[in-house]
Amino acid sequence: FAVGKPSEFYTKNPIFHAKVGLFLLIALLSIIPTVFLLKHRNTTAANLSVPQRIIVIKRLEMLLLLVLPLLAALMARGYGLPSS
């Protein structure tokens, strides 16, 4: 099963760790809007007033999602690896 890069490529690359950390940060940020929507899922009002905090969190998530492909491209090109 010799497919892809060796494990050292990932474990020693700080770009990879930044990418995984960013992904986890986005996942944690999404908890707050999810809880808000679950609390208001049975609301029958035509217009639901969404707090500004939720809007800011969703915009931040979208901004951070734009950075993930950049980190993936940097990692694939070998940036962040210790030079030998």
Contacts of residue 34, defined as CB under 8 A and 6 or more positions apart, other chains included, come to none
- Alpha-carbon 8 to chain mean position: 23
Q: What does each of the 84 residues of the chain score in pLDDT, given as a tens digit?
A: 667 777 877 888 899 999 999 999 999 999 999 999 999 988 888 888 999 999 999 999 999 999 999 999 998 888 888 775
Alpha carbon distance 60, 24 (integer Å) = 14
Per-residue confidence (pLDDT) for residue 3, from 0 to 100: 73
Nearest by Cα to 48 from 37, 60, 33, 35: 37
Q: Per the confidence metrics, is the pTM higher than 0.85?
A: no
| Residues with Cβ within 8 Å of residue 79, at least 6 apart in sequence | 15
